[in-house]
Structure 1
Amino acid sequence: MWWSWPSPQYSQGKRRRFGSIRQLKSGRWQARYRDPSTGQLRSAEDTYATKRDAEVALTHIEADITRGQCADPEAGKVQFGDYADAWLKDRKLADRSRERHESVIRLHLLPTFGGRPLSSITTAQVRAWRTARLAAGVGEPTVVKAYQIMRAILKTAVDDELIRRNPCRVKGADRYDVPERPVLAVAEVYAVADAIAPRYRLLILLAAFTGLRFGELASLRRRDIDTTNAVLMVRRSRAEMQNGALFDKAPKSDAGVRPVAFPTELLPDVEQHLDDFAGAGRDGHVFLGPQGGRLRRSNFRDDWIKARKKAGIVTGVHLHDLRHTGNTLAASGASLRELMTRMGHSTPRAALIYQHMVNGRDREIADRLGSMIRETRGGDVAP
């Protein structure tokens, strides 16, 4: 049945005082009303399975107009791809983070949603997209990241009053269960350190016993090492762009700039490395590549894999697992705040100045790690 416009519609015997409802050839129901600001005839964004649903929707539209909250239906016609591009340009992101966002949007969001109007994207479509990505073999962490970015884009679209509701409402889609990573024993850490090229021996030991990230270790300069107090000062982290460009950048948060004590048992290794392999001058990099250039993951990875195999460490252990190992070993007797400080995570915390960290609890954490080294290595390390 086709209801002509503007013939009056009735509900429970009374003429409708706002808008009108008609049934389309498809059998679904459409709600229509006049925009009070322009007098233009508008249709609700959706059609409805029943006449009652359309009546309820029209009641909500009337209430929104009364409260001044009715969005312009034309606004939602902006295509997702165009809006995502503008959204990304407006974000304040580090170069590497911007590159990753661009890659995720281009590879995982635009093929499905790029040409769709914002208002046409539904929760069911988002759910189907997520299922298809996982079924195609895309890693769950990548799908989670893509979903998080899409949700952020559409949240901004809601704030910009282009759409009324964010369709990214898939329960559990914004997180995944991180598999338990392996923890190496102290003896295994030293087995890898002994097996790797001498220029990387100290990197292995510091990764395990300070919990520094690869980028933080790669960007260390001579002036960042205090051999008197056995402390490293983390000031920056190395990033590598997809085009191969390298640069040292400030950490993501203030918590990333921090002093980290290392076991005094490592001092002989530190001093030997500085004499044999570090760059010249106070600003010389502590760790360099095999040809004396800046250290890259790509020119370190093969050495790591070979050393791991030579040491008899099971396949699947990654360099980042040394950080996990160090944080796990340090956890004994340390408070959450102390661990978060040492790891460089952003948490509400009191300002910690260098001298307090050197003489305080972080030194105790490093000393406990040192005792583990002595127990494992015996007379092979300085007391």
Structure 2
Amino acid sequence: MPRNNRRRFGSVRQLPSGRWQVRYYDPETGERRPDEETYATKTDAEVRLSQLEADISRGVWTDPDAGKVNFGEYATTWLKERKLEETTRERNEGVLRLHIKPQLGERFLSEITAPRVRAWRTKLLESGVGEPTVVKAYQMLRAIMNTAVDDELIKRNPCRIPGADTYDVPERPVLTVPEVYSVAASIQLQWKALVLLTAFTTLRLGELAALRRRDVDLGARVLWVRRNQAELSSGKLVTKAPKSRAGFRPVAFPEMIVPDLEHHLEHHAAAGQEGRFFVGPRGGRLRRSNFRDDWVAARTKAGVSEEVHFHDLRHTGNTLASQSGASTRELMTRMGHSTTKAALIYQHMTSDRDRTIADKMGDAAREALEKDAPPEATGTDGARED
């Protein structure tokens, strides 16, 4: 027969196996329940009983059965309840489906321990999943488990790997101004203004794709960013407002590219004030796929490294703006960084100062071109016509 040792709070008893069991009263139901584990000695069991009594009296006790919730179902509900943009939701659904659920989806929340999280992350890296994707997956898993803590399903978040939520972004190539103009002179005329504006305004492709004629003020030399275009994996194009107040912004450009923009408006932009500034080859919406082959061909013709991506034009422009004297705050504003601090800075930054930055960028570009670039690459006078 089991041997009992009753106490006011609970009891310990020795089982036929010789191990000791702890029993106590559930503070929520009032029913007596056994602890999840058994113990080798009576002393160990009594220590555990004292710990349980202390946890309950301090209000930090968690129902051991609360964590017996299927992680996959919990994570799906967690994501469904989040208010997210279509593109962000699509990315998160992909990360959850491809990188989290395969290893953890069938387990209970309580079974996802710190060692299991470490093993999951290691397996992802060893299987060849890129570090940025692994970081995103880890961040999502940690957020899900934080909610589980808040829901009192688990006591502590098991995602506690130092440095696992960040990664070192590799340095991207920076083009010289002559290289920018060489690529612009080598690409189809329909995309020349796209190359120059990306380099000298550092707008994102989605922001450029969403520009209308009325957003381009050649007299003031300013582009007004009012919306952004995103492409889902299904191919669907979504036009949306910028993520934050900082995304709504005027961005100045240097005078030297005005002739190229005038040429583009006359020959390539859609008609009307609401007409898109950039359109696809057949008059439709601009997509990255519209000009990808032309970009590669122009990059090759210009002798630019194949490691240079179109997005590196934005990086090039940011570098040029910094070299032209833009402060960190001014750079954040031009780039449209979506943080509270960036938004407040944007509200107080004057367009005159932004135009000064653009002018300095233009001066630096003109000086570099005079030294290295062929004369025919500096304007549209000798440009090819459609």
Q: 2:77 aligns with which of 65, 86, 102?
A: 86
Q: TM-score, normalised by structure 2?
A: 0.89
On the 8 A contact 1:147/1:174 being kept in 2, the answer is: yes
CA distance in 1, matches of 2:242, 2:231: 14
Q: TM-score, normalised by structure 1?
A: 0.89
Instruction: Give the root-mean-square deviation of aligned CA atoms.
Output: 2.5
Aligned to 2:63, the other structure's residue is in SS state coil
The one-letter code matched in structure 1 to 2:367 is: E
Q: Which residue of 2 aligns with 1:317?
A: 308
Q: 2:91 aligns with which of 89, 95, 100?
A: 100
| Deviation of the 1:228 alpha carbon | 1.0
Distance change in 2, residues 1:56/1:232 (3 Å)? farther
| Deviation of the 1:364 alpha carbon | 1.3
The one-letter code matched in structure 1 to 2:235 is: G
The one-letter code matched in structure 1 to 2:328 is: L
Aligned to 1:348, the other structure's residue is in SS state helix
Q: 1:298 aligns with which of 275, 289, 295?
A: 289
Distance change in 2, residues 1:44/1:294 (3 Å)? farther
The one-letter code matched in structure 1 to 2:5 is: P
* 2:363 is the counterpart of 1:366: no
Mapping for residues 341-352 of structure 1, pairs under 5 Å: 341-345=333-337, 346-349=339-342, 350=344, 352=346
* 2:185 is the counterpart of 1:188: no
More deviation in 39-48 or 288-297? 39-48
* 2:19 is the counterpart of 1:7: no
Q: Which residue of 2 aligns with 1:225?
A: 216
Q: 1:61 aligns with which of 52, 77, 88?
A: 52
The one-letter code matched in structure 2 to 1:306 is: A
| Deviation of the 1:306 alpha carbon | 1.5
CA distance in 1, matches of 2:327, 2:52: 54
What does the per-residue CA deviation read over 1:29-80, in whole Å, with 9 as the maximum and x for residues that have no partner? 7654221332333344567798777655544432221123322222211111
* 2:225 is the counterpart of 1:234: yes
The one-letter code matched in structure 2 to 1:374 is: R
CA distance in 2, matches of 1:82, 1:5: 40
**Could you list the runs of 5+ residues in structure 2 that have no partner in the other structure?**
381-386
| Deviation of the 1:298 alpha carbon | 1.8
Mapping for residues 1-383 of structure 1, pairs under 5 Å: 7-8=4-5, 18-20=10-12, 31-44=22-35, 57-332=48-323, 333-345=325-337, 346-349=339-342, 350=344, 352=346, 357-359=350-352, 361-378=353-370, 380=378
| Deviation of the 1:8 alpha carbon | 1.7
CA distance in 1, matches of 2:184, 2:346: 32
Aligned to 2:173, the other structure's residue is in SS state coil
What does the per-residue CA deviation read over 1:332-364, in whole Å, with 9 as the maximum and x for residues that have no partner? 22211111111101241546469x6322x2111
Q: Which residue of 2 aligns with 1:12?
A: none
Count of residues in Structure 1 that have an aligned counterpart in Structure 2: 371
What does the per-residue CA deviation read over 1:70-118, in whole Å, with 9 as the maximum and x for residues that have no partner? 2222221111111011101110100010011111101111111111110
On the 8 A contact 1:279/1:288 being kept in 2, the answer is: yes
On the 8 A contact 1:24/1:30 being kept in 2, the answer is: no
The one-letter code matched in structure 2 to 1:112 is: Q
More deviation in 209-218 or 341-350? 341-350
On the 8 A contact 1:105/1:146 being kept in 2, the answer is: yes
On the 8 A contact 1:78/1:117 being kept in 2, the answer is: yes
CA distance in 2, matches of 1:24, 1:197: 85
Distance change in 2, residues 1:324/1:347 (3 Å)? farther
**Could you list the runs of 5+ residues in structure 1 that have no partner in the other structure?**
10-14
Aligned to 1:176, the other structure's residue is in SS state coil
Aligned to 2:259, the other structure's residue is in SS state helix
Give the fraction of aligned pairs with identical amino acids, expressed as a percent. 59
CA distance in 2, matches of 1:30, 1:369: 76
